[in-house]
């Protein structure tokens, strides 16, 4: 069984790899001329990659929600994946709202000046 240090090392590796993937994705979406689309895609990627959720309902260990959702689909089956899909969808909606609201406020400030 894994102890707490293995768990923390796993999260550190995941966050480091996710950050590197995000930096590469950021560079690729930088060529898009329509910046709200680029910011929305970046927000979706951050929400999908970094939203944590509980591995099991009775445990307090967290894992990325997308991985928990896929493992619940494969191992438990049925509608068990909804348990991790709900916070993932809410995180994506919130990230899109923040990305589009940030663009809106930036436009408001540029008009005012």
Classify residue 96 by burial, with Cβ atoms within 10 Å: 0-12, 13-18, 19+.
Answer: middle
Banded model confidence at residue 113, pLDDT cuts 50, 70, 90: low
| pLDDT tens by residue, 19-72 | 999 999 999 999 999 988 999 999 999 999 999 999 888 888 899 999 989 988
Q: How many domains does the chain have?
A: 1
Q: Which domain holds residue 90?
A: 4-112
CB 10 within 8 A of CB 55: no
pTM above 0.75, yes or no: yes
- Pick the closest to residue 103 from 44, 35, 45, 47 (CA basis): 35
């Amino acid at each position: 069984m894994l102890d707490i240090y293995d768990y923390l090392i796993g999260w550190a590796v995941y966050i480091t790899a996710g950050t590197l993937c995000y930096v590469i994705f950021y560079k690729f979406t930088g060529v898009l001329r329509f910046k709200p689309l680029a910011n929305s895609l970046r927000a979706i990627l951050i929400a999908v990659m970094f939203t944590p959720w509980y591995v099991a309902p009775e445990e307090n260990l967290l894992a990325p929600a997308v991985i928990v959702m896929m493992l619940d689909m494969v191992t438990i089956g049925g509608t068990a994946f909804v348990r991790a899909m709900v916070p993932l969808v809410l995180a994506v909606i919130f990230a899109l709202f923040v990305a589009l609201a940030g663009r809106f406020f930036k436009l408001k400030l540029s008009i005012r000046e």
